[in-house]
């Protein structure tokens, strides 16, 4: 499946990806390697960033992280069937957030 180039924002299933101007001061940097899980899936099919030049920051808000990318990088969904197209992100600052939806019983995390 061909990657989709993202300029400003996109969704990959339950994952929302948005270009941002800054990373909040409260976000804490965590070490990361060339393969970063940006969102865990309830079924084990995680959303993975493939980059050698990424810096990961975790926010205090649940299911939220930020990445500083120095190079074009792919976000892939690790599922062999019914998968989402890879997203190609350019250099810069990006917010990753698992989406939520409202039901009569209250807010819940979107599942993919």
Q: Could you report the per-residue pLDDT of 70-104, keeping only the tens digit for each? A: 999 998 887 666 667 889 999 999 999 986 554 56
Q: Is the pLDDT score of 29 beyond 80?
A: yes
| Share of residues in the chain with pLDDT > 90 (%) | 36
pLDDT of residue 69: 93
What pLDDT score does 112 carry?
47
pTM as predicted: 0.80
- Strands 73-77 and 28-30, by their bridges, are unpaired
What does the mean pLDDT of the chain come to? 82
């Amino acid at each position: 499946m061909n990657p989709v180039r993202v300029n400003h924002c996109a969704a990959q299933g339950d994952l929302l990806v948005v270009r941002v101007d800054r990373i909040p001061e409260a976000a804490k940097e965590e070490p990361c390697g060339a393969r970063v899980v940006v969102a865990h899936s309830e079924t084990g099919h995680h959303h993975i960033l493939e980059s050698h030049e990424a810096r990961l920051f975790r926010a205090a808000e649940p299911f939220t992280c930020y990445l500083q990318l120095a190079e074009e990088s792919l976000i892939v969904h690790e599922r062999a069937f019914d998968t989402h197209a890879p997203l190609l992100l350019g250099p810069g600052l990006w917010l990753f957030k698992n989406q939520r939806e409202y039901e009569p019983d209250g807010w819940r995390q979107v599942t993919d």
